Amino acid sequence: MTRTSAILAVCAASACFSPRAGTSEVGADSDDDSSTGAGDPTSGSGTSEPVTSSSAGPTSGDMTTVTTMAEDSSGSSTASSSGGWSESSSSTCDGEEGCSCDEDPCLDGLECIDSTCFDVPDGTVYVAGGMFTDVGSGPNESHTIAPMFFDRTEVTNDAYGSCVSEGGCTPPSTGTCLGAGGANWGLPGADDQPVNCVDFFQATSYCEWAGKRLPTEWEWEWVARGRNSGFTYPWGNGPVPTCDLAVIENGSGKGCGQVGPADVGSRSPAGDTADGVQDMAGNLTEWTVSWFDDSEEEITVRGGSFVVTGPNPALTAGGRNSDAPSDHYTASGFRCVVEVSR
């Protein structure tokens, strides 16, 4: 069975959504460029993640549809089999998916990564797993991250439109979206811009439709820090964000003067992570699946946005903000992840 077929089978059984991880820290996300997005945590660590209903269509904004799933005893930020796949246990099996590629080359269409043949999902990059401690960004706890396929870019209007056309998603908010610039949905020339004005439920529905899920905030931070490099910014420990590295407010106006997000990857490769993931600082803040500070009222969002100024901590890899699950902001978007279960 191919990886895609396996994912579809899993999705049919479990709706492709069962993440687990802890959350914590301070701050609040908004379209005001004065938000800090980081601070000195004083509360205890969180122990649950929001989980949406498993209906095939998009979930409504009614908070009664949100439940919680306790973090496992190890504090792991890994997920269950939903939104992922398991490799073959065979050490060599002629280059098929999940097989070792130390001796046999991978079949056409597969990539040899970490001695294993992978069918890399479209639009994703492989990110190796590991462990890190969220010093300065959360409850100062260790998080174990599983290997994953992480979306290279934020989800675009074009990609989201395919989900809408197939009935898996509802259109973004246009008349009630808050913040500078307005919704970019349906605007000429905006197909390659990240979709904005989508709430947590819409983001979740899209990822489920795509056979993926939203990342936990600790998975997101692991990628943004360059994994165990522990970088302050996606591109390293400096310099501070500028318009050469990220789509931000730089004094010339929001979005480096265009009052909105730019096409995804517009600051690549200068602003990329060590794994080649783009726009993890600026452009749009991104929904995660993690409750903020165990509040079970607001969701952690990461990454800053086009309305945030360069020195703002929200643009660091550890910067954290939060929004209510039903909020629609012009500065909010998302990306998805597929876990690799080893």
From first CA to last CA, the distance across the chain in angstroms is 17
**Residue carrying the six token digits 């995660």:** 288
Task: Look up the domain containing 42 and give its range.
Answer: 1-342
Judged by DSSP in three states, 18 sits in coil
Alpha carbon distance 187, 49 (integer Å): 34
Residue 81, both tokens: 């089999």
Alpha carbon distance 201, 144 (integer Å): 26
Mean pLDDT, the chain cut into blocks of 10 residues (342 residues total): 38 36 34 37 40 38 34 34 47 81 92 92 95 86 95 98 98 94 96 98 98 97 96 97 96 93 98 98 98 92 96 94 97 96 56
Predicted pLDDT of residue 50: 61
For residue 285, the cross-strand partners are 332
Predicted pLDDT of residue 3: 39
**Residue carrying the six token digits 């492989």:** 126
Alpha carbon distance 132, 76 (integer Å): 11
Residue 219, both tokens: 């998975």
Looking at the structure of the chain, the number of domains it has is 1
Q: Roughly what angle, to the nearest 10 degrees, separates helices 157-165 and 200-209?
A: 80
Amino acid found at 21: A
Q: CB atoms < 10 A from the CB of 234, how many?
A: 28
Predicted pLDDT of residue 49: 55
Q: With contact defined as beta carbons under 8 Å apart, do 111 and 117 qualify?
A: yes
CATH number for the domain harbouring residue 14: 3.90.1580.10
**Of the candidates 130, 80, 138, 109, which has an alpha carbon nearest to the alpha carbon of residue 291?**
138
